[in-house]
Amino acid sequence: MAIARMPEALRERLGDDGAEGLVTLFESAREEWTDDVLTMAVDRFERRLTNELSLFRIDFTREISVLRQDFTREISAVRQDCTREIAGTRVELLKWSFLFWVGQVAAMAGLLAFMLRP
């Protein structure tokens, strides 16, 4: 097949066996060269991929660290807000409880005064 593309003058000069041998030599050299080029390309790709993955890991670790710090700050702020809110509620509860107890004592004192009156 490749012999048909060979110039006729060269084919006549080399003969059929020589032309076929030359084509076989070129094809084996091409296959070997193709394998070498493919191996080099794969090696370069693997090195580049490894490098990019390493950079991605570093960036990802940094971003996770920043997010973790932000999340910790936000949780701390929410915790402080909740603590303040609970403390405020506690004070309000104690204030109303004290008011209720004072009212109960006054009611009981009035009831006892009414019952113990001669």
Residues 8-20: tens digit of each pLDDT: 888 888 888 888 8
Token pair for residue 108? 């009981």
Question: In sequence order, what DSSP letters do the residues of the chain get, joined into one string?
Answer: --GGGS-HHHHHHHHHHHHHHHHHHHHHHHHHHHHHHHHHHHHHHHHHHHHHHHHHHHHHHHHHHHHHHHHHHHHHHHHHHHHHHHHHHHHHHHHHHHHHHHHHHHHHHHHHHHHH--
The pLDDT score that the predictor gives to residue 53 is: 96
Domain range for 83 is 3-116
Q: What pTM did the predictor assign? A: 0.48
Residue 80 main-chain phi, psi, to 5 deg: -65, -40
pLDDT per position as a tens digit, 22-61: 888 888 888 889 989 999 999 999 999 999 999 999 999 9
Alpha carbon distance 79, 74 (integer Å): 9
Q: Considering its fold, how many domains does the chain have in total?
A: 1
Under 8 Å between Cβ of 41 and 24 = no
Under 8 Å between Cβ of 27 and 19 = no
The pLDDT score that the predictor gives to residue 1 is: 47
